[in-house]
Amino acid sequence: MSRIKFFKEKNLPLEMHKVRIVQKLNLLPIDERLKAIQEAGNNTFLLRNSDVYLDMLTDSGTNAMSDRQLGAMMIADDSYAGSATFYRLEEAVQKFFGKKYFLPAHQGRACENILAKTLVKPGDVVPMNYHFTTTKTHIVLAGGRVEEIFKDEAIETTSSEPFKGDIDLVKLEKLINEVGPEHVPFVRIEMGTNLIGGQPVSLGNVQDTKAICKKYNIPLMIDASLITDNLYFNKIREEKCADMTIAEIALEISKCADIVYFSARKLGSAKGGGIVIDDKALYDKMKVLIPVYEGFLTYGGMSTREMEAVAVGLEEAVDMDMISHGPEFIEEFARILTEYNVPIVTPPGGLGLHLNAREFVGHIKGEEYQAASLVAAIYLVSGARGMERGTLSEEKNPDGSEHIASCELVRLALPRRVFTLSQVRFIADRLAWLYENRELIGGLRFVEEPSVMRFFIGRLEPTSDWQEKLVAKFKEDFGDSL
């Protein structure tokens, strides 16, 4: 739903910025794309960016920066200790979250490392709306276990539920009683729930979750990496937020949390991260780990230039003109694909468009990685790279069998302010073709399978010659078009 009204246009997502620096892109012929994806072990993480037309892998560190951010980078105070830049960033963080203490870290997962090392003991259980890959890994490495307590609607791919990221409060309380509050080091809410399709959490649910945490004296932790999309949806979809400013909603969410952390590769549209808290004792406990794993306390592994960019990025993150771009483009992308009958996750969320691979390529067995097969096929027919978010992104069961993911998704990320509507229409058009020819897509199997987070660097091969057949059909239909 665009906030701008039109005369003849339906819902045109309108850019509230103009482009002043561009980067030339490459669209390789399909034979070269076939070679590139095979050389990359059918893993889009291993493609070279020069072989990619639309890089829709992630929104992490790939959002477009503003002129104000680039300008700020030029005045960075480059010193190891006590840099003026750090204090500017600290102030911006305090203002955005309304909390006292800020610990810098080089990215989001680095915060998770510090938090898990400080708070999680062997045997602990961490309830959360949904896991994120790196979060879960850090908790498991510290000897803990993750329990997801999402509402049933969360993993229904087709839904009209506006806040699929909400915690199921009944399940939360039941879980706390089952394992005992003393084994729950914190409850974690991930804003803009990444792995179920960038789905938001309501302010009401954050407040209700806090009330339960308070009852059992358990800290509430908020992963604010994707909070900007979430804030947009709070404002647009949640009645109690309609009259609040974006800054007020952010403060209200943060107020419920004992611990907030974020990846500034997303929030702040630059690179870095940090932990924000009010508790001095906990701050002191974590503080000593920053120089060990990240860097001195006034940079935490970030370059001063990036810190300047994050500080300005945080100021811009409360501007509706800035944060509306992603969700509105994604909504338009979703509208076009729905018109073409391509199965997607609804309602559309933030950070990217999510295809329902389980439905798209239902003829492929779960053990042959539906979403991974689809994402390789998408690169072949369009030169766009997405990310597998399904079984391949899961760790195997302890007995070595595949843990079939509850959602089998392909994410096509729309880094903020990066792509144009023509590019969105191009990829939508290729997806429509691919959907009509979906029977040609086959499965994948591992040739090199790392034991942790295999999706990042694992290599796979097709289980048949389906890729050659898909290329042949493409040439039949598109001739020598790229």
Ligand X SMILES: *Cc1c(COP(=O)(O)O)cnc(C)c1O
Task: Please report, as ranges, the residues that interact with ligand X according to CB under 6 A.
Answer: 60, 107-109, 132, 134-135, 190, 194, 223, 225-226, 263, 265-266, 273
* Omega cis (within 30) before 347: yes
**Parallel, antiparallel or unpaired: strands 352-356 and 273-277:** unpaired
Exactly one of 62, 133, 134, 463 is catalytic; name it: 133
CA-CA distance, 321 to 325, in Å (whole number)? 7
The per-residue b/e assignment along 263-282, b for 16 or more CB within 10 angstroms, e otherwise, is: bbbbbbbbbbbbbbbbeeeb
Closer residue to ligand X, CB minimum distance, 225 or 254: 225
* 266 given a catalytic annotation: yes
Q: Is 13 left (phi over 0), alpha (psi -120 to 50) or beta?
A: beta
Closer residue to ligand X, CB minimum distance, 33 or 131: 131
* 80 given a catalytic annotation: yes
Q: Is 290 left (phi over 0), alpha (psi -120 to 50) or beta?
A: alpha
> What 3-state DSSP class applies to 262?
strand
CA-CA distance, 440 to 437, in Å (whole number)? 6
Shortest Å distance, C-beta 130 to ligand X: 9
Identify whether the C-beta of residue 259 lies closer than 8 Å to the C-beta of residue 221. Answer: yes
Identify whether the C-beta of residue 416 lies closer than 8 Å to the C-beta of residue 13. Answer: no
- Cα maximum dimension of the chain: 67
**What count of residues does the chain have?**
482
Exactly one of 51, 124, 168, 223 is catalytic; name it: 223
* 132 given a catalytic annotation: yes
Distances in whole angstroms, Cα of residue 178 to Cα of each of 147, 184, 186, 283: 12, 11, 15, 30
Tokens of 321: 């003109």
Exactly one of 389, 411, 417, 454 is catalytic; name it: 389
* 285 given a catalytic annotation: no
Closer residue to ligand X, CB minimum distance, 266 or 325: 266
* C-alpha dihedral sign at 143, 267, 44, 301: negative
Exactly one of 6, 80, 456, 478 is catalytic; name it: 80
Q: Could you list the active site residues?
A: 80, 132-133, 223, 266, 389, 455
